[in-house]
Amino acid sequence: MSGHSKWSTIKHKKAAQDAKRGKVFTKLIKELTVAARLGGGDPDGNPRLRAAIAAAKAENMPKENIERAIKKGTGELEGEAYEEAIYEGYGPGGVAILVEVTTDNRNRAASEIRHIFSKNGGSLGEAGCVAWMFEKHGLIVFNKDKVEEDHLMEVALEAGAEDVRDQEDQFEVITTPGDLEKVKAVFDEKGMVYEMAHVTMVPQSTVRVEDEKTAQQLLKLMDALEDNDDVQNAYANFDIPDEILNAVA
């Protein structure tokens, strides 16, 4: 997972600094609305909504924006009728890609996703072609210079994490989706600084991409997907060495 999670960390930092912050808010509002529509407006009884609220707060979304999105989901306010879809395919180098979409126009979304894949050296596949390679987990990423490994391992496992993985210059703490907030809260209480914490799709195996041209084309494809207004998340199983990732990202 290291290549993709490292790229996600870079993207997360960049989004907090540039004009794409508006797109981040749009995606969060969609998730809040859909989560409230599917599971109700009470976060105590709706884990998906609880996670969406935590993500929105992490991006400093105003409280009134969060409440408005939830009310649109529960029907208290008029809002768009969003539906969810998953698209699967392959990128340059044979990398598996899973795309989660939330849209008010499914035909438009399908057409745009197909175009993005074909334009950037990828191909959209049939349903189920790569989904089996991914499992949903909580992921908390630490830079190695911010934490001591033995201490991280002890705290993480006592808090209920499933695993701690050594990934080059990062540690990745893996949890079940339901335990992410609990484990993250323990780190917060102890003042342990992490780079990123969210529910994600973790690949069971990775594809090593060591050619710089292929890596550049692959990341261009991933950027185009994440920049699309209908795409909520795009996951991939690439593992790009740090020196190449830093050069092309």
d(CA 21, CA 180): 24
User: In angstroms, what CA-CA distances link 216 with 4, 95, 124, 128?
Assistant: 13, 13, 19, 26
Residues 217 and 121 in one domain: yes
Q: Say yes or no to pLDDT of 3 above 80.
A: no
In a domain, 232, yes or no: yes
User: In angstroms, what CA-CA distances link 108 with 31, 124, 228?
Assistant: 19, 15, 11
Check which CATH number belongs to the domain holding 101 and give it: 3.30.70.980
Structural domain ending residue among the three candidates 52, 74, 96: 74
Instruction: Tell me the pairing of strands 170-175 and 134-143.
Output: antiparallel
Residue-level pLDDT at 17: 52
In a domain, 92, yes or no: yes
Taking only the tens place, the pLDDT of each residue in 96-126 is: 999 999 999 999 999 999 999 999 999 999 9
Domain assignment of residue 171, given as a range: 133-203
In a domain, 22, yes or no: yes
Q: How confident is the model at residue 14 (pLDDT cuts 50, 70, 90)?
A: low
Query: How large a percentage of the chain has pLDDT more than 90?
Result: 69
Lowest mean pLDDT among 5-14, 28-37, 61-70, 170-179: 5-14
- Tell me which residue has tokens 């699967």: 88
Q: Decide: 121 and 92 in contact? Cβ < 8 Å.
A: yes
Handedness of CA 141, 144, 145, 146 (dihedral sign): positive
In a domain, 153, yes or no: yes
Counting DSSP H helices and E strands in the chain, the numbers are 9, 10
The residue type of 232 is Q
pTM for the structure as a whole? 0.83
Give ∠ CA 75-102-50 in degrees, rounded to 5: 60
Average pLDDT over residues 192-198: 89
Higher-confidence position of 93 and 9: 93
Structural domain ending residue among the three candidates 74, 94, 122: 74
Q: Name the domain count of the chain.
A: 3
Residues 6 and 65 in one domain: yes
Average pLDDT over residues 33-50: 94
In a domain, 249, yes or no: no
